[in-house]
Amino acid sequence: MIIRAIEPKDNLQIAKVIRGIFHELDAPKVGTAYADPILDTLFEVYQEERSVYYIVEKDGEVVGGCGIAPLENEAAHVCELQKMYFSPAIRGTGFAKQIIEKCLDFAKENDFTLCYLETLAFMKAAQKLYVNLGFESIDAPLGNTGHNSCEVWMTKKI
């Protein structure tokens, strides 16, 4: 398996991975990444300045990904860890930790000093990983992600 920057050919595959996970977990479709109008065009979205999206590829197939970008409606030093989703086949392999660290390295290189993320309350394994990587819970959301179904908000100083 490899971690690499997203390419145009990955758009449909990563969108399928993300939507599939929402179906698998019976997660809310409204107010989450599932309903994001940009979900089918992640390559184009992450061409913006100070933004990157990494793909995990296994045998030529996209099996997960995670990105980082400035947090909308926040100070310039605040970024957001975005759209971290992995197919069941690669969960528990350590790629989530690797991809988050790669995103945080990118954030530091791009002068961000605070990383924000949000997730669903029942996604306990992801929350445990975030805590192990130094993220701490906060009491209210930051920015304007449009993900009003997410009830867990966390930040990490970079």
pTM of the predicted protein model: 0.91
Q: Tell me the CATH number at 49.
A: 3.40.630.30
- Round to whole Å and give the CA distance between 126 and 135: 11
Domain ranges, residue 142: 2-157
**Which of 55, 51, 71 shows the shortest CA–CA distance to 117?**
71
- Round to whole Å and give the CA distance between 117 and 136: 10
Tokens representing 127? 């929350």
In the DSSP assignment, the letter for residue 29 is S
Residues 6+ apart with CB under 8 A from 154: 116, 117, 118, 119, 127, 130, 135, 136, 137, 138
Give 80-108 pLDDT, tens digit per residue.
999 988 998 888 888 899 999 999 999 99
Give 114-124 pLDDT, tens digit per residue.
999 999 888 88
Number of structural domains the chain divides into:
1
